């Protein structure tokens, strides 16, 4: 095994080098503190591997994203979201029997307990749907205590999340809840629960269903990002599945993470309402004192392009064409991308459109309200969180997550 030499003021030690499947290299520092008394300091964890994982591979330089070895482009072109969910959680794509069994189980667990419906009555009509989603996911652990049913709880969570999401929308517009139907696929069921009203038949548009399927697949996992690390962190204390997932929802909500999709649309609307002046907003994005960032741009890992953004850029065109819509925000987004990609500031920092830049345009075309965008992201990310949580819990060497710190506060002082 190769080793790295670390020279400290008082000693020199050798640390093992770990090499991943795709030749990713890491220095294993797990014995560093015990041997030397030193810790490492890595604010924002940009250089820290928190685990070894067999779920998702990303190469940020080459714009590669694979789930369980399958390129995202292939999965997006040929699978349903539930097949991808099965792949992430179980490690392989399902054969015909397993697929039928999984789909059947998910379909039959979509109802939420009638008592849970009462919770919705207590939320204000303008409650943010991410707050409702996080609370309702936590509440599932009151009905299925301690997540004690293992695989069944995983099925329940995947099945009930779209029902909760659609009910939170219905609550916000004051319409009656629409119950899930067992003859519909996952995406169609969700769309029907969102848009149907009891007095009318509702026909799911195949173009909208396919667009939703694509979006969910593209969001399904992204290795150790902020929300996934949160899920692992919470789960490492052996908190139950639902509690861990609710923590993931909360972490995703922030505008630097999943909340960026809502912020992108708000930014594009602002630019439109301000006469479409890109240059002004580019200048603001470059001015650190403005507090303004180009939302949907930049990524901690992708430094040349985000493969999900590429797929979504052309999907946005296709979906709008299929639905016979045009959206001035799509034109503004494309214009902004073109200007940013030619600008020295963005070039020097290798800032490219990320998954959130075009996803909002598609959600808008589908009729999803802006406040629901991050909920849509959460529905997609759920199987990834579950897979990562399960991998951590199944690891016999797993330990509670507990980073160290370098203390820089006051030395000892006395109140007297």
- Nearer residue to ligand CMC within complex by CB, 100 or 256: 256
Among 76, 83, 88, CA closest to 386: 88
Q: Which of 153, 221, 343, 356 is catalytic?
A: 356
Q: Find the shortest distance in angstroms from Cβ 128 to ligand CMC.
A: 17
Number of helices (H), then strands (E), belonging to the chain: the values are 18, 6
Structure tokens at 246: 């609710």
Give the integer Cα–Cα distance in Å for 388 and 55: 7
Alpha carbons within 13 angstroms on the beta-carbon side of residue 338 total 7
Q: What angle do CA 246, 30, 238 make, to 5 degrees?
A: 25
- Nearer residue to ligand CMC within complex by CB, 129 or 298: 298
Note if 343 is an active site residue. no
Q: Find the shortest distance in angstroms from Cβ 43 to ligand CMC.
A: 10
Q: Find the shortest distance in angstroms from Cβ 298 to ligand CMC.
A: 2
Let me know: does 212 contact 242? Beta carbons within 8 Å. Answer: no
Give the integer Cα–Cα distance in Å for 293 and 144: 42
- Nearer residue to ligand CMC within complex by CB, 243 or 340: 340
- Nearer residue to ligand CMC within complex by CB, 113 or 280: 280
1: how many CB neighbours lie within 10 A of its CB?
Answer: 8
Q: Which of 222, 299, 306, 343 is catalytic?
A: 299
- Nearer residue to ligand CMC within complex by CB, 234 or 336: 336
Give the integer Cα–Cα distance in Å for 90 and 371: 32
Q: Find the shortest distance in angstroms from Cβ 287 to ligand CMC.
A: 9
- Nearer residue to ligand CMC within complex by CB, 135 or 224: 224
Give the integer Cα–Cα distance in Å for 303 and 347: 10
Structure tokens at 169: 């929308």
Let me know: does 235 contact 393? Beta carbons within 8 Å. Answer: yes
Q: Find the shortest distance in angstroms from Cβ 296 to ligand CMC.
A: 5
Q: Find the shortest distance in angstroms from Cβ 300 to ligand CMC.
A: 4
CA dihedral (68, 71, 76, 78) in degrees, to 10, reads -80
Give the integer Cα–Cα distance in Å for 189 and 64: 31
Among 353, 333, 329, CA closest to 341: 353
Q: Find the shortest distance in angstroms from Cβ 8 to ligand CMC.
A: 28
Residue 111 per-residue DSSP state: P
Note if 299 is an active site residue. yes
- Nearer residue to ligand CMC within complex by CB, 178 or 231: 231
Interstrand relation of 56-59 and 3-7 (parallel, antiparallel or unpaired): unpaired
Positions touching ligand CMC (CB under 6 A) are 44, 225, 256-258, 260, 285, 293-300, 349, 351, 354-356
SS3 call for 352: coil
Measured from each CB, the residue nearest to ligand CMC is 298
Let me know: does 311 contact 72? Beta carbons within 8 Å. Answer: yes
Q: What are the catalytic residues?
A: 299, 356
């Amino acid at each position: 095994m190769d080793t790295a030499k670390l020279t400290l003021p008082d000693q020199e030690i050798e640390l093992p080098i770990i090499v991943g499947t795709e030749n990713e290299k890491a220095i294993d520092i797990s014995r560093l503190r015990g041997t030397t008394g030193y810790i490492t300091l890595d604010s924002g964890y940009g250089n820290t591997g928190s685990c070894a994982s067999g779920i998702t591979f990303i190469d940020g330089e080459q714009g590669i994203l694979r789930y369980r070895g399958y390129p995202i482009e292939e999965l997006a072109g040929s699978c349903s979201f539930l097949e991808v969910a099965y792949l992430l959680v179980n490690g392989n794509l399902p054969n015909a029997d397993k697929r039928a069994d999984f789909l059947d189980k998910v379909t039959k667990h979509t109802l939420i307990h009638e008592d849970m419906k009462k919770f919705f009555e207590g939320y204000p009509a303008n409650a943010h749907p991410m707050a409702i989603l996080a609370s309702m996911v936590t509440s599932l652990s009151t009905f299925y205590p301690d997540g004690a049913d293992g695989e069944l709880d995983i099925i329940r969570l995947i099945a009930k999340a779209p029902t909760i999401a659609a009910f939170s929308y219905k609550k916000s517009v004051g319409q009656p809840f629409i119950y899930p139907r067992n003859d519909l696929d996952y995406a169609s069921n969700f769309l029907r629960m969102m848009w149907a009203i009891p007095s009318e038949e509702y026909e799911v548009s195949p173009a909208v269903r396919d667009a939703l399927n694509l979006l969910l697949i593209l969001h399904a996992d992204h290795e150790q990002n902020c929300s996934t690390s949160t899920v692992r962190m919470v789960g490492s204390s052996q908190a139950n599945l639902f509690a861990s997932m609710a923590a993931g929802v909360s972490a995703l909500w922030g505008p630097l993470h999943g909340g960026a999709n809502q912020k992108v649309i708000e930014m594009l609307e602002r630019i439109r309402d301000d006469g479409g002046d890109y240059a002004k907003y580019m200048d603001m994005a470059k001015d650190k004192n403005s507090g303004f960032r180009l939302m949907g741009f930049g990524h901690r890992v992708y430094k040349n392009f985000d493969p999900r953004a590429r797929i979504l850029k052309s999907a946005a065109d296709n979906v709008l064409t299929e639905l016979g819509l045009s959206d001035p925000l799509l034109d503004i987004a494309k214009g902004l991308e073109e200007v940013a990609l030619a600008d020295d500031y963005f070039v020097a920092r290798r800032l490219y459109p990320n998954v959130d830049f075009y996803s909002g345009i598609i959600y808008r075309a589908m009729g999803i309200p802006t406040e629901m965008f991050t909920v849509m992201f959460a529905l997609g990310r759920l199987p990834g969180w579950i897979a990562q949580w399960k991998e951590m819990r199944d690891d016999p060497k797993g330990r509670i997550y507990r980073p160290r710190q370098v203390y820089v506060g006051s030395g000892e002082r006395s109140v007297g």
